[in-house]
Every structure is written in structure tokens, then in C-alpha cells.
Structure 1
Amino acid sequence: MGTNGTVDTATFTANYTTSSLIGEKLMTHFNLQSSGKASDIAKWHNSIQELALQTRLGIPITLATDPRHSFAEVAGAAVGVGSFSQWPETLGLAALRSPDLVQRFGEIAREEYMAVGIRQALSPQIDLSTEPRWARTGQTYGEDANLTSALVVAYLKGFQGDKLGRHSVTTVTKHFPGGGPAKNGNDSHFETGKDNVFPGGYFDYHLEPFKAAIAAGARQMMPAYARPIGTKYEEVGMGFNRGIVTELLREELGFDGIVVSDWGLVTDFTALGEDMEAISWGVENLTELQKVEKILNAGVDQLGGEIRTELVIQLVNDGIVPESRLDESVRRLLKEKFELGLFDNPFVDPESADRVVGNDYFSRIGNETQRRAYTLLNNPDDLLPLPLNTETKFYADGFNASYLLARNLSVVDAPEDADFALLRLSTPYEARGGGFESHYHQGRLDFNETEVARHAAIMSAVPTIVDIYLDRPAVIPELAEGSAALLGNFGASPDAFLDVVFGTDGWKPEGKLPFDLPRSMEAVEAQLTDAPFDTANPVYRYGHGLSYAEKC
């Protein structure tokens, strides 16, 4: 997307522009990875629809997006919120245990997406986060299959409605058959994360949310990148895996919708300056043509993140893949475009987009949910909520003190001069790789010695209220012991944090942990990768979450 909603004329992939991908490659599905003003997105969407109408068949574009309503911004996984309403991560929705709220989120997100022309959500992500180190935990609903199953049903209804139609956004449920059992928690975009392992024999446990999604009318499925190790299935990436896609998903579970591969299975690419080989675990030695053949033979309908239409044409022309096989997938894809009403009218109103996206009501519900999802982990002597006293002196660390000053509160420069310290942290991770991999939070979950000492110095100088962003299960026994009160959030603004600390307007934490918080890295490494709730002696167990005491 260019400036002010124009179609960018720069070449961005293999020397193709957006216009040439539509006019020459005849592509009709795109993923929007940028954010901006709603009306600009809507104008751009209308422009590419105009280009599509000028092609021989005039097939309208289906525009997709990764999740874009939370605090995460991870290349290839989540888009910056831009002008959309801002909510906690899906972990925060899981912390509230409310299918009704998840459905309401889906309805609001659907209205915002449709206003700018987005008709395909590359979500929900219903992997079960049984490996605490896993880099994609933040976009899941935690490690409980039953809770995730209940919430995915509500999510699908919110986006799709009772029946897919012109007022729906179609969904892509991922990553089948569950990406959570990642060896050592490494992300499957990268070779270190290419294996899913099942030492506890919990393969079927990870299928449970997908069964619920299929029963609830899931329209599309995305197979995981990783390869299944030690199962009855071929040890190749799920998108290449006929046993996974056709035999398990389609034949055994009865899914008859669209299967779209995850991005970049065929062609090498560059992401954020980092050169990446095609993500083709187990079939790395195949040619590009052979990879496409294996993907199609697995039962996949659509190749995500690829523009290599010439390879599909060559497979047909060479008699390797029958045209009837392509017809199966084309029927599914065109049928959905018709059901969404794109052939009737693919255009949107840019002026309306600015009124709908991020409107006061949608933003208010998102902001309220940030506050409600807060999880009170420890509150000795019922310290919280603090009284709002202008004479109380605060030391702020991890957020801008201006948020306190805006409430007419006193701020000091050193913890020893304060009555209370407010310390905001994020779950630790190991920074790895270049531009692309550095966006993924992987590796250790505990703070290094320097940070532990820094936190300890603050906590020993003054009663300290600690707030930690839990995009993965942090190893924080020292914070549980040394803090005056401990809160966990799943994506929350500084104002949301302060409203909960002071109980402003009655706000209080309502969340319950969607996963265990381990006591040590040794415990993390000892637990079974695919097994839920098996952390030895965790600091806080799944479901933990305190409430504020009633104060007269």
C-alpha cells in the first residue's frame, strides 16, 4: 500500500508490483501487512478491486490480515494495531473465561475489518501452549484444550455469524494439528523449530480445539510449518503432509473447507533484511516444482505467501497434476468469494471506514477488556488497590512517569525517596537471529542476573508493585517473593495498569492464568513438551487469580 491509500508502484517481491501481480499473475488473494488510517486502507482496497475487475474474468480480490487488534507486532504473525480498537492478546480473553466476550470481540473485529475491505482473518490460532518457551504462545488461548475449544466456537461465530454471507469475515483456523508441542519451544519459521514432538503421547489432545472448530463451521484451515516426529505420519512439514491434510483433517475429521498453507513453503525469501530459505521441513532437497506437487497432493487448496503460479501451470502442462485436481480447489475458493458477496459488490466506503474503525464504542470495549483481563497473582495484606493520595510519592520504572503526573500524583527520581515503586516488566526472552527472527520471543523465560539484581534493589528499597506482560509463562519466583503486590497482564496500556492499581472507577483484576507459571528453567526443561499442566511445583498454577478484598 502506498501513501494515502494509493497502490504502491514499487517492486516488493520478485520484481513484481501489486498491479502486475493482479494483471499478469492473475492473483486474487492478498495479505495486508501494513497498518494506517482506515480510509487509506479502504481506498487502497478499492483500487486493487478496480484492477481485478479489469482482468479477463474479473474475479474480485479477497483481502486477508494477520491479527491486528492487540499490543503484539510480530512480522509474519501479528500486525500493529494502527487505527483499530486495541485489546489484550487472546491470552487475555482466555484469562476472562468468557465465550460471550470472545464472540463480542469477533463481532467488533469483523465490523472493523469489513469497513476497510478485509474479508479473511488469518486467525484464530488455537494451538495449545503446552511448551512454556514456545514463541507463539501470546496469540493462543493457553494450554487447556477444553477452554480453547469453547472460545474458538465463540470466535468463529463472532467473525462469521450464524452462516457465512455478505456480512461475514471468513476465518483461517491454525495451525493444524496444533503447533504447541514445539521442540525446545523454538519457532517453526526457523530450522531450530522444525520439529513437533510428543513425548507424553498427547497428539490427540492438541486436536481437540480443531474438532470443536470444525463442528462450529470453521471455513478454512492452515497446517503448521513443523513436521510431526514419532507419530504414524510422514515426518515432513504439515503443509506437505498428505497423512495430516487429507487423511486426518479431511477424511477422519470431516473438514470439507479450504486448506491454505502457511507462508513461504516453496520460494526462498528475504524478511526484514534476513535471508530465509523456503520453510519446507523434511523436503528441503525437493525442487520448487516438486514442492508444489507435494503440497497439492497433500490436499492443500492454496499456497500462502507465494506468487509462483507458473509452477502450478507447468505441473498441469507436464501432466504431473491433473487439471481436475486444481478444479477441486478453485471451486472451494470461488464458492467462498460468492458467499461473501464479493462478486456482487467488492467495494467499501472510505469515509465510513474512518467512522467505524476504532470508534469510541469499540475502543471503549477493548480498553475495558485490557483492565478486566489483569490477573492478580499476589496481594499480601490486601495492599491493592492503593488509595489515590496526591501526597504519596511514586517511583516509576518501565513506563513513562507522565501517566502518574497526569493524575496529579507525585513522582520521584529514586526508589529510596518513594513511598511505592511501580515496576512494569515483560516476560524475558533470548534475542536471536537477524531482522526477522529477532521479532520472535524464544528461549529462556527467566531474567538474567543483572536484571534480577536491579529488580531486587528496587524491591528492597521500597514496597514495589510489579506488573509483568505475560506473552509467555515467565519464570519469576523472585518477583513473587520480593514484590509488595504482583500483577500479570496480557497486553495493557499504562493507563489500564494505573486504573487497576488504584481501583479507578471500580476497575479490578478479573483474570485467571491460562497457563502455569514455572518456578525454574530446570522445571521448564524437565516437563513434557506436549503435556498440559505438568510443570513441577509452579509458582502459580493454571487458573490462579486473586480478587480485591471488599473495603469499606
Structure 2
Amino acid sequence: MTYKDKSEPIEVRVKDLLSRMTIEEKVAQTLCIYAKKGNFQDEQGHFDENKVKKLLLSGAGRIAEVGFVEDTPKKMAELTNKLQAFYLEESRLGIPVIFHEECLHGQMVKEATSFPQPIALAGSWNPQLIQDVYALVAEETRSRGGHHALTPVADVAREPRWGRVEETFGEDTYLVSKMTVAATKGFQGEKGNFNTKKNVIATLKHFVAHAQPEGGSNCAPVNVSERVLREVFFPPFQDAINEAGAMSVMASYNEVDGLPSHKNKWLLDDVLRKEWGFEGFTVSDYYAVYQLKQRHNVAIDEKEAAFQAFSAGIDVEMPFDECYHHLTDLVKEGRISEAYLDKVVSRLLAYKFRMGLFDDPYVDPEYADSICGSEQQRSLALKAACEAITLLKNDNEILPLNTSKIKTIAVIGPNANEVLLGGYSGKPKFYTTVLDGIKEKVGDTIDILYAEGCKITEPGDWEETDEVIASNSENDKKGIAEAIKIAERADVVILAIGGNALTSREAWNEDHLGDRPSLELVGSQNDLAKAMVETGKPIVSLLFNGKPLSINYVHNNIPAILECWYLGQETGKAVADVLFGDFNPSGKLPISFPRSVGHIPSYYNHKPNDRRGYLFDEVSPLYAFGFGLSYTTFKYSNLNLEKTHIDKNESTRLSVNVENTGNVSGHEVVQMYIHDCVSSVTRPVKELKGFEKVYLKPGETKTITLDITPKELAYWDAGMNFVVDPGTFNIMVGTSSKANDLKTITLTVIS
């Protein structure tokens, strides 16, 4: 049989195999089996061959999250091998399956390396680091038998109330694009070559505009125009497809302009395939095809939901078959042509051939056991965690801590001795809490005291806990009183507060919520902070959270603040390295911190006629996009353009000298923003259009150059054409998006 001959071209093998398949077997390639649902297990949770054989009648396209059955590296690799063998040896045509996995910041299984959450990784402003991180995640995932990662999240997060902000790379289109491209290259490799068995297929999600839901409520409608889609939400997807060859796209739960994404043919076919030339495959979000009937009320039944989604361009229904088995009847009835089904199945099969699954589908369980979550991976996890930490405040240079002047440290707060990984997390082999990391760092040289102070919520699990229970205020009062006694004995207080995995998470139904109408610290944390301030001790506040928080009291009263997000398995080590000066913090905020919910929207790239001001309050954010301090200082000078006048089809280059004017080596993120001064439609006051992270020793100066091409200058004009206007552009460069942190030079574009 030609399709089994690996010397033949993939397109020839696909055509031959397709010619042998029944309609039922073709439809099966669009279906998914969810391992979590006990499809492979008996009542005791053991692998059940009889159950598997019942699923072999027509084959299957993919299997979801085998880690729910066997989650250790070796056992999971053995199970994927066993399942693959069933499909290859016992199904009629021997078509292998694709295994897909959640890989948000490490594979969501036991003993995988756990990296910082994407919002934290974005704070590194280091695309090469992001590529390295996801390359390692891909290798670990592939070693266990996985082929397809449901990552990266390409959403642009413009709604801080939304519980899934932590899954994104922040609020800015350009930054999210660069990080998404880097993550995609990490997963798939620079050329998408799967011969080494170290790469997996990346999935861009959620297409589209999922991260600006109405009211901050997950899956709510997104009321934006086509221009906003093209300016803000499309570019990360388009860039990852064009620059990194992303092979898969997941549609979003939400609707735009009354049309749910899972039935939006303009979005999935006209834009994605015809306009952008996407040749990969699309997948539904979990249960989203059924939700066309259940929630959106645009389909009368499951069969109609299947018709709408498949016709619009959703190739695969996930995580299991609720609707797509109806495709068989829809084809036989002529509502869906078999030619269209063949087109979809051909690309699904092509990726199985491209992954080598027909020829060499098995993995080495011993290799999986040796690499996944191993000691050798820890250095990259630590580097990522260190680069993510952002110094928000450092009055009187309280940081780094001077160990020669400290005898006792009080480590206090609900996040001081907790495992803080955030959502979609596995269970890493290694984890150090803040308390552990500080103890390990100072050894016997400094006494370390600890008090929890208060709780954020009652204990619970991100996934399994539906009801989130607030902390007991009376118990918190007792805890705060104890923390005061501990703090009074110390020379300095490390206060670890913020959120947890329950206070900001995916709200996937009405009894599992995760969005909040407030950005204030949950529970008694402000009371704890006030109590610590009243002791008169020097305080360093560590914030652990998945989205921006309105920390006005902390900002106004605590001298040193570090934004830590969720740092992954090396949390304690990274925090200790920064606290004691072994690593100079270099993080920059990938999202603005509003002063209150009333300040939303707070993203920096607003329109000129916005943000006039508020009565009795500041209109600016508490912390601006791109902001982050260092233990050293930097000076910008000699700002120049290679050409100050260019044609609209030409490019130029900005250069600036950056000098480390302090006494400590450190990284600076040089940020370039552009504003089109006069345009046919309104344009933002500034937009990030370039950045570079540079390392400088004390007294060292480097010249940074950033390209300005037509792509950085163009916009969607009144006629919805992507054009460069003749006229004046302000080119701004500096340390953050704040106006007083930027130097400006003028570029003139000639028609």
C-alpha cells in the first residue's frame, strides 16, 4: 500500500490513504477521545484493553491529555506507545493517533519542568528566552508521546478583571506577537522538522479577541469593530503563522458582533485561510461546538451545531465527540460535500505523516524518565523566573538586602510558604517556596522567622475546587496579631501577598468562577500590610498574582515592591537571588496596573481623545506598561535616525546610546514607541514597535539600533487599507511607556 511507503511524498501517501477510507473513517479523523473521561480505564483506574478495543471501530483522530491516566514520564510514554500500537495494529487501516496536551508553562502533568506563567515570561521581554523555554517544554512533551500542544495563548489582554490574564503575554499587540512567534518557534522548531522527536505542533489560541470580554467575564461577547480586530487582536496570530509557521489554531468561545467564533466563516476561512494563507488545521475549544446549541442558542441541536462549526472551518471537535459524529449523516445527506470532508481530512492526515507517526510512532520511556523535570532543566527554569521579576519600587535603595547589617528576617504573608504555580500547571519534581529560598540562601548567617499572617482563601485546587471560600476574618485577626509579634523581632520584613490560583482563573462554568469585579487584594491582606507598616520595620513586599492588582496602600506605604507573578518551580530560589542582589531585576511590566477597577480600560495605547482626567483622582495607571526598575541606573543619549525623511515604502533605523550610570551590572529593555501625528482615522498616542534587551556593566555604553519598516508605520485607514500615511511620526525611545521616560525624535514620510 502506497500510504505505508515512507519513500513516497506525503501528498501521495495522503491521497492513497484517503482513497481507501470510508466516510465513517474520514469523519473519525475529526473526532477526539478524552482520556480524562475514563475511556481507557476500569473502575479502579487501571488501563482496560477491552475499553480501548471498543473505540477502534472506525479509528480516531486524536486523544486528549493521556496524563490524566498515567502522569509520570515513563508510565505515560509506555501508555502512549500501547495506545498507538492498538490503532496501528488493530484498526482496519492502521492510522495512528495524535496525542494533544496542555503546555501553558510546562506540560500539565506530573514531574514536568514548571516555568513561570506566560504573563511572567512576557515580563522578561526576552524572546530568545521564551523560545528556549518552549523548546524544552516541547522536548519533554514529545518524550512522553505527545504531538500537539494547546499553546501558546496569542490573546491580547485588555481586560484586567478577566481571570485568564496570566495565560497571556500581556496587553500590547507588538509584545504579544513577538512572544507568540518565539513560543511557536520553540514548540515546532525553526523549520518545523519533527525528525528529532523533540518538537510538537503549536496551537495559537484563542481566535479571536477572547481577552477583552464584556465586563471581564470569561467567554462573554467582545464588542469591537473589524478595525480593532485587525489592529489589536489579529497580528499575534498572523505573525505566528507567517513568521513561525504555526500549524494549528483554536477558535475562541466568545462572539464578536453577534457571531460565535466557532461558526464564523469570515474569521476561519476568509481571513485565516484565504487572506493569511494558513495551511494548518483548526480545532475547537473544549465543548465549544456543543455550546453553539447550549449557550449561544444559534443551533437547534447537536447535528446543526456540527454543521455550522464544520462548514465554518473547525476541523476537529475537542475534547471528545459531542457533535461531530453527525458529520457522517450530514455528508450522506449532501449538506456537507464529501469533497470538503476530504479536504479537511487530507490536512489532518498530512500532519500525522509529517510527524512520522505512520513510520516511527513510538517513544523511549527511559528517555522520558531521564529528561522530564530533571535536575538539568532547572537552570533554565531559574533563569526564566529571575528575568520575570519586576522591581516596582525601591525607596532609599532598601534592595538588595545587605546581609552584613541584618541579623533577623521575618518572612510573613499568605504566599510566603505556598506552592504558587497558577493555572494549567503540572506537579514538578522540585519546588522552593519563598521561605525555603530565603533559608537556603542565607544558611545559618541570619535567623529566619515565619508567620502566615492571614489567608487569601480557604485551601483549594485550581481545577478541582469549584466553590472558592473566603478566608475566615476572625482567624485572620489572630494570624495578623501573631505576625506582628514575629515582625517586631526582625530587622526587616519580607511580606509575600497577592493572589492565588483560585482568585484568578478560567471561569469555565457558573459554579467554577475566576473573574472578579475588583482588583483589590483579597481578604485581610491590606490589614496585614497595615499591621506590618505600623511596626516601623523596613518592608519588602513580594506580589504573586496572575493579573494586575490595585495595590494602592502597598504602593503608598511600603518602600520596596517586587512583582513576581507566578514564577514556576524555582520561585524561592529566584526571589532569594533578587532579594540579596545575586540577580539584578530586569523585568518590565507587560500590562498596565490600574489604580482601581474604575480606571479600566487602563492599557497604555489609548486614543488621543481619551484619558482627559477624573475628578478627585489620577487618570494614569499605578504602574505603566513597560515599567520596571533596576538596582542600577541607565542614561539614554544621542538619539538619531539613519534617515529622517523616507518614502512610504522605505525603511530607516533608530539608534540610541544607553549607558549604565550605576555601580551594578544589569539589563535594560530599550523600548521604541511610534505615533502617527495626523491620520485618516484616529491612532493611539503611542504604540510599541520595537525593543531590545541589553546587558551593561557599570560605566559601559552600547549603541542600540531598532529598525523602522513600513510595517511599523502602517495602519488600517478609513477605507480599511493597510497603508503608510505621508506626514510626521513621533519616534519615542526609553525605559517605559510613560511620557517622562521617553525621548522623542521626528520622522517624516514623503508620499
TM-score tier, shorter chain, comes to: 0.7 to 0.9
Q: Deviations over 1:176-205 (max 9, x none)?
A: 1231221111111xxxx2x01228962222
- Secondary structure (helix, strand or coil) at the match of 1:57 reads coil
Cα distance, 1:365–1:402 mapped onto 2, change above 3 Å: closer
The partner residue of 2:152 within 116, 119, 124 is: 124
Are 2:169 and 1:146 aligned? Answer: no
Q: How does 1:23-102 map to 2 (within 5 A)?
A: 23-24=56-57, 26-32=59-65, 34=68, 36-53=71-88, 54-67=90-103, 69=105, 80=108, 82-102=110-130
* Correspondence 1:419 to 2:419: no
Q: Distance in 2 between matches of 1:45 and 1:532?
A: 51
> What TM-score, normalized by structure 2, do the two folds share?
0.64
Rate the CA distance shift 1:544–1:135 in 2: closer, same or farther, 3 A. Answer: same
Q: Give the AA of the match of 1:399.
A: A
**Partner SS state of residue 524, structure 2:** helix
User: When the two structures are superposed, what TM-score results if normalisation uses the length of structure 1?
Assistant: 0.86
Q: Which residue of 1 aligns with 2:542?
A: 467
Deviations 1:50-102 (A, max 9, x none): 111111111111111112535xxxxxxxx645311221111222111112112
Question: For 2:203, what is the secondary structure of its paired residue?
Answer: strand
Stretches of structure 2 that go unaligned for 5 or more consecutive residues are 1-33, 418-434, 452-485, 612-618, 633-661, 665-751
Residue pair 1:86, 1:367 contacting (<8 A) in 2 also: no
Inter-CA distance 83–319: structure 2 relative to 1 (3 Å threshold): same
For residues 449 and 104 of structure 1, the distance between their equivalents in structure 2, rounded to whole angstroms, comes to: 38
Structure 1 residues 240, 17: closer, same or farther in 2, change over 3 A? farther
- Per the TM alignment, residue 369 of structure 1 is displaced from its structure 2 partner at its CA by 1.2
- Cα deviation 1:478-514 (Å, max 9, x = unaligned): 11112121000132222321221112xx222110000
Aligned residue pairs total 518
Q: Does the 8 Å contact 1:152/1:213 carry over to 2?
A: yes
Correspondent of 1:292 among 306, 317, 339: 306
Deviation at 1:436, TM superposition (A): 7.9
CA RMSD of aligned residues (A): 3.1
Task: Identify which of 402, 408, 430 aligns with 1:392.
Answer: 408
What SS does structure 2 have at the residue aligned with 1:425? strand
* Cα distance in structure 2, aligned partners of 1:145 and 1:265: 26
- Would the aligned equivalents of 2:177 and 2:236 in 1 still touch at CA under 8 Å? yes
Code of the residue aligned with 2:349 in structure 1: it is: L
How far apart are 1:254 and its partner, in Å? 2.2
1:452 is matched with which residue? 526
Matched, 1:502 2:580: yes
1:44 Cα deviation (Å)? 1.2
Q: How does 1:314-353 map to 2 (within 5 A)?
A: 314-353=329-368
The corresponding residue for 1:487 is 562
* Change beyond 3 A, Cα 1:423–1:438: farther
User: Match for residue 523 of structure 1?
Assistant: 599
**Partner of residue 210, structure 1:** 237
Structure 2 counterpart of 1:56, which letter? R
For each residue in 1:290-334, what CA deviation from the matched residue of structure 2 results, as whole angstroms up to 9, or x when unmatched? 000001110121112132453121212233222222111100100
Q: 2:367 & 2:316 partners in 1: Cα distance?
A: 32
In structure 2, relative to structure 1, the CA distance for the partners of 1:112 and 1:340 (3 Å cut) is same
Contact 2:104 2:167 in 1 (8 A): no
Q: Deviations over 1:109-133 (max 9, x none)?
A: 1211111111101111110011111
1:272-291 alignment, distance < 5 Å: 281-291=295-305
SS in 2 for 1:438: coil
Larger Rg: 2
Deviations 1:329-382 (A, max 9, x none): 100100001011111111101011111212223221112211121000000011
Task: Give the superposition deviation at 1:225.
Answer: 0.8
Kept after mapping to 2: 8 A contact 1:427/1:473: no
Deviation at 1:285, TM superposition (A): 4.8
- SS across alignment from 1:117: coil
SS at structure 1 position matched to 2:512: helix
Match of 2:397 in 1: 382
Q: For residue 223 of structure 2, what is the aligned residue in structure 1?
A: 197
How much does 1:434 deviate?
Answer: 9.3
Whole-Å Cα distance in 2 between the matches of residues 109 and 439 of structure 1? 28
Aligned counterparts of 2:216 and 2:359: Cα–Cα separation in 1 = 45
More displaced, 253-262 or 32-41?
32-41
Distance 1:541 1:199, change over 3 A: farther
User: Against the structure 1 CA distance between its residues 163 and 336, is the aligned structure 2 distance closer, same or farther, given a 3 Å change threshold?
Assistant: same
Residue 7 of structure 1, CA deviation = 4.8
For the Cα contact (< 8 Å) 1:69–1:84, is it kept in 2? no
Q: Which has the higher contact order (CA 8 A, sep 6+)?
A: 1
**How many Å separate the matches in 2 of 1:289 and 1:497?**
53
Matching residue of 1:440? 514
The structure 2 residue matched to 1:540, chosen from 623, 645, 650, is 623
User: What's 2:284 paired with?
Assistant: 261
In structure 2, do the counterparts of structure 1 residues 64 and 469 end up closer, same or farther at CA, with 3 Å as the change threshold? same
AA in 2 matched with 1:45? T
Pair 1:352–1:52, CA change in 2 (3 A) = same
Name the aligned partner's letter for residue 301 of structure 2. Answer: T
Shift of 1:519: 0.7
CA distance in 2, matches of 1:530, 1:279: 37
Larger strand fraction of residues: 2
Classify the secondary structure of the residue corresponding to 1:196: coil
SS in 1 for 2:497: strand
Q: C-alpha distance in 2, partners of 1:145/1:182? A: 17
- Taking every aligned residue pair, what percent have the same amino acid on both sides? 26
Residue in 2 that maps onto 1:362: 377
Give me the whole-angstrom Cα distance separating, in 1, the residues matched to 2:58 and 2:403: 62
SS at match of 2:147: strand
CA offsets 1:419-448 (integer angstroms, 9 cap, x no match): 222111234747998988536344321125
Distance 1:83 1:436 in 2: 31
| Mapped partners of 1:219, 1:241: distance in 2 | 20
Does the CA contact (< 8 Å) of 1:394 and 1:422 recur in 2?
Answer: yes
Find the aligned partners of 1:318 and 1:200 in 2 and give their Cα distance.
36
The change in CA–CA distance for 1:433 and 1:348 in structure 2 (over 3 A counts) is: closer
Secondary structure of 1:342's counterpart equals: coil
Q: Any idea what SS the aligned residue of 1:457 has?
A: helix
Farther-moved stretch of structure 1 (242-251 vs 410-419): 410-419
Letter in 2 for 1:345: D
Distance 1:306 1:382 in 2: 55
**1:432–1:342: structure 2 CA closer, same or farther, 3 Å change rule?**
closer
> Which residues of structure 1 form unaligned runs of 5+?
71-78, 230-234, 268-276
Q: Aligned runs of 1:102-251 on 2, under 5 Å? A: 102-166=130-194, 167=196, 168-188=199-219, 193=220, 195-198=221-224, 202-204=228-230, 205-216=232-243, 217-229=245-257, 235-251=258-274
Tell whether the 8 Å contact from 2:592 to 2:604 is kept in structure 1 after alignment. Answer: no
Write the deviation string for residues 214-270 of structure 1: whole angstroms up to 9, x where unpaired.
Answer: 2121111111110003xxxxx231011112111222222222221111110244xxx
2:588 maps to which residue? Answer: 512
Contact 1:200 1:531 in 2 (8 A): no
Q: After TM superposition, give the deviation of residue 466 of structure 1 in Å.
A: 0.8
Q: Secondary structure of the residue that 1:96 maps to in structure 2? A: coil
